[in-house]
Amino acid sequence: MKKTIAAGALLLFLALSSAVAGTEGLPQGVPVIVLTHPTLFQVRNIVEMYERDILPLPAFVLLGIYHEDEFANPEEAGAYRDAFAFVRENDISWVRFRKLSGRVGIADLFRENAWTPQFREIFASASGIIFTGGMDIPPALYGRETSLLSEPTTPARHAYEISLLFHLLGGSRDPSFVPLLAARPDFPVMAICLGLQSLNVALGGTLIQDIPSEIYGCKTVEEVLGGDADRIHSGVYLERLHPHDPDLASPFHRIRLAPHSLFVKKLGFDGSDTPSVATSHHQAIDRLGAGLRVTATSMDNRIVEAAEHGRFANVLGIQFHPERHTLYRKGLFLRFRPGAPLDFNPLAFLKANPPSYEFHLAIWKWFTEQVLAEQKSVEGRRFKVDDQKKEY
């Protein structure tokens, strides 16, 4: 494991416990990336990408945040404890965890509330935030009744994450609210899969609760699997027919990039490029939240695959999964379809379908560049304040 960090902060950093609940004691001069829902899978994704230089940072602190009420769900509690054990047993000193506390009702999510001081503390220490994937958002949070196909099994998580996104960005829920990014407009936010949906809901948008039935009129798993591969957005359908085959690969599909997107304007891709991406969702954006613009879609233009914020240029939401460490492993072999041999390597697949691999690398290169730029800006402001104090 990589354990080195920037000179001058090393001794302090290695002395810190990786499981301290708080942001106090975080070393200065080293970027802090906040990660929501820091389960073993999510933490390992970041660790593995860092080890493989998919995240091209010389050093950083990963601060995983979660809410204490999430431990009421036994599955979530186990996933978090596994993450704590993974970090401890592998002596990964640059990973920290921060517990949020207090309860906030739906009516108070989109205003200052009991979590506001904790959000401000976390934001002040951070150089970027990654909102990760997960289960369905309770439709009550976007003013809808719950479909029989929705699975809102982690409500505590959704409440604080959506409130945090509102605190970061503001929005139509309360136009008078001054968002945290107003003071740091270049702060990078990466919202992945559920993260994009949470971003949309925080900004007043709504969701499609089930893509196959609502968009494509499918009533059975077989109908979904019998259709166009670019319309299959989740691996759960194969899993339902073959529940005892753990080696089935998650599906990939192609996406379209908008000419005005960050992908084209800043990352250098062409509007005609159709990179393949790993996908795992059955919900998607319906009504677009205030301030967002669609910057990538499914091949048939019916599903939003990426959205960017109009005011804050480094806020990117994506419906696909470039963070999975399984995408970057040369020695991982899976089954592409039931009954097939174990010869499907996700990394080889991405490289064989250009510019898919380059697209994934470019997303993380862009994000880390923004993180480093934000850290430099924060340090610049800190030095300026220190100088002013000395003059005083």
**252 within some domain:** no
Structure tokens at 348: 């080889």
Residue 269 domain-assigned (yes or no): no
Q: How much is the pLDDT for 19? A: 46
Domain extent for 131:
10-208+280-330+362-391
Distance separating alpha carbons of residues 168 and 36, to the nearest angstrom: 14
Number of domains within the chain: 1
> What is the model's pLDDT at position 20?
44
- Mean pLDDT per segment of 10 residues, for the chain of length 392 residues? 41 37 67 98 98 96 98 97 98 97 96 98 97 98 97 97 98 94 98 98 98 98 96 96 95 98 98 98 98 98 98 98 97 95 98 98 98 90 55 50
Total residue count of the chain as it appears in this document: 392
Beta bridge partners of 192: 318
Examine residue 259 and state whether it is found in any structural domain, yes or no.
no
Is 64 domain-assigned?
Answer: yes
Classify each residue of 215-238 as buried b or exposed e, where b means 16 or more C-beta atoms within 10 Å of its C-beta: bbebeeeeebbeeeebbbbbbebb
Output the pLDDT for position 383.
55
Q: How many Å apart are CA 337 and CA 249, to the nearest integer?
A: 7
**Cα separations in angstroms, 157 against 101, 306, 313:** 12, 22, 26
Does residue 352 sit within a domain? Answer: no
- Helix or strand run (H / E) with residue 184: none
CATH number at residue 143: 3.40.50.880
Q: Is residue 302 in some structural domain? A: yes
Instruction: Tell me whether residue 229 is in a domain.
Output: no
Helix (H) or strand (E) segment spanning residue 7: none
Residue 47 forms beta bridges with which residues?
none
User: What predicted TM-score, i.e. pTM, was given to this entire model?
Assistant: 0.92
Residue 94, number of CB atoms within 10 A of its CB:
24
Sign for the pseudo-dihedral over CA of 58, 23, 92, 160 = negative
- SS3 sequence, 72-139? HCHHHHHHHHHHHHHHHHCCCCCEEEEEECCCCCHHHCCCCCCCHHHHHHHHHHCCEEEECCCCCCCH
Residue 375 resides in a domain: yes
The CA distance from 236 to 251, in Å, is 9
Query: What pLDDT, on a 0 to 100 scale, did the predictor assign at position 6?
Result: 37
